[in-house]
Structure 1
Amino acid sequence: MASRDKKRVLSEYLIVSAHAGDRVALDRLCRLWHADLSRHAGRLIGEADTARDIMQEAWCDILRGLGSLREPAAFPAWAYRIVARKCAAEIRGRQSTRRTADAFGAEMSGASVDGLQAAETAADAGAIRLAMAGLPADQRLALALYHQDGLSVAEIAVITETPAGTVKTRLMHARRKLAAVLNPTQD
C-alpha cells in the first residue's frame, strides 16, 4: 500500500475516532494534513505569512465542521476546498482594497510576489517550476493538486468546483504546455 493510501486510511480512522469524541485523534489529524493544506494555501496566496494566517482560520472551520462530515473518505477534498475558499476570500478582500485605493488615487506600493522564492537545488526542478509559473492559474492548480498532492481528478473537481472532464482537460493542456517549454525541439 502506498504511503498516500496509508495516509487516507489513517485519516478516515482518525475522523471516525474524532466523531466518537477522541480529542487526540483531532490533534493527529491536524498534524497529518497540516503540511499539505499549508502548501495548498501557499500556492494559492503566494505569501507564507498570509498562508499561515489563512491556515489558522481554515483549521478552525475544518475542526468545527468535522462533525458534519458524513463520509470520512471525502476529508481531503473537503479540507482543500475550505482552504481554497479562505484563500479566495483573502484575494477578494485584497482586490476590494486595491479598487478602493485606486478610486481615491492612492498609490499602491504593491509587494511583488516571487513564485520562485525557494531556491531549487536541481536545474531541472527550477526549469519545471519556471515553466509551471507560465501556465494559466487553473492549469497550474490542477497540475499541482494532481502531481504534488496526489489528489484524484474527482477530488480536484470538488476542490475547484468544476466538472471532472474540465479538470482532465486542464491537466492535458498543462502537460502539453510544460512539454513544449521544457523540450522545445520536440514536435
Structure 2
Amino acid sequence: MNKNKILSDAILIERYQKGDKKMISFLIKKWHLQFCNFAFWIVKDADLAKDIAQESWTIIINKLDNLKEPEKFKSWAISIVNRKAIDFLRAKQREQNKLQSLYFDSKTENIALEVNDNSVLKQKLASAIRKLSIEQQMVVKLFYIENYTLKEISKILKISIGTTKSRLFHAREKLKTKLKHINYEK
C-alpha cells in the first residue's frame, strides 16, 4: 500500500517538523489535486487554479514548521487556498473596476468637451454622472452613451435585468435631484 495513504497528515507533519523534509512530498501528493480542485471551484479556470494551489503550497511549506495542531492540517491548508483564490478574484475585480472607470470617465469627459449650445448643461451632467456610484455610472453610460439595451447591459455587467433597471432608475433619480436647480435657458 502507498505510504502517503497509510500515514496520517498529523504523522507526516510531525515527522516534517522533526526534520524529515521528505514528508512534504507525501503531503503534496496527497493534497495537491484536491487543492487544485478547490481553487477551480472558486475561480473557474484550471490553469489559474493550479497557480493558486502552487502559491498556496509555498505559504503552507513556509508555515508548516509553526503549525501547532497537525491534525487540523486539512482545514488550515484549505483556508490558505481559499484566501489565495479569493484574493485573486478581488484583485481581478479591482482591475476590472479600474479599467471600467477609466473607460467611462473618458466617455463622460468626451460629452463635456463637445462644444455647442448645451455645453454648460453637458458639463454639469457629466459632473453629476461622475458623482454616481461606479455601478450606476456604468449602467447610465452603457444605456445613454453606448445605446445598449437593458438586456445587453445585464449580459455585459453579468447582473440581472431587474438589477439593471433598478440601477438605471436610481441613477436617474439621483441625477434629477442633482440637476433640478440648473437653469436650462441659454
The TM-score normalised by the length of structure 1 is: 0.51
CA displacement, residues 31-87 of structure 1 (integer Å, 9 cap, x when unaligned): 111111111011011100111111111000000010111111110000000000000
Which of 1 and 2 has higher RCO (CA within 8 Å, sep 6+)?
Answer: 1
Residues 8 and 91 of structure 1: CA distance in aligned 2, closer, same or farther (over 3 Å): farther
Measured after TM superposition, the shift of residue 8 of structure 1 is: 9.1
- Is the CA contact (8 Å cut-off) linking 1:37 and 1:83 kept in structure 2? yes
- Amino acid paired to 1:56: Q
SS in structure 2 at match of 1:70: coil
Which of residues 63, 66, 73 in structure 1 aligns to 2:64? 66
CA-atom RMSD in angstroms: 1.7
Change (3 A) 1:9 1:28: closer
- Say yes or no: does 1:50 pair with 2:48: yes
In structure 1, the residue corresponding to 2:19 is in which secondary structure? Answer: coil
Partners in 1 of 2:7 and 2:38 — Cα distance? 21
Larger Rg: 2
CA deviations over 1:138-175 (Å, ceiling 9, x no partner):
xxxxxxxxxxxxxxxxxxxxxxxxxxxxxxxxxxxxxx
Q: Identical aligned pairs, as a percentage?
A: 31
User: Gaps (5+ residues) in structure 1?
Assistant: 1-5, 107-187
- The one-letter amino acid of 1:89's match is D
Gaps (5+ residues) in structure 2? Answer: 105-186
- Using a 3 Å threshold, how does the CA distance of structure 1 residues 34 and 103 change in structure 2: closer, same or farther? same
Aligned to 1:21: 19
Structure 1 runs (4+) greater than 6 angstroms displaced: none
Matching of residues 9-158 of structure 1 within 5 Å: 10-105=8-103
Q: Which one has the bigger helix percentage?
A: 2
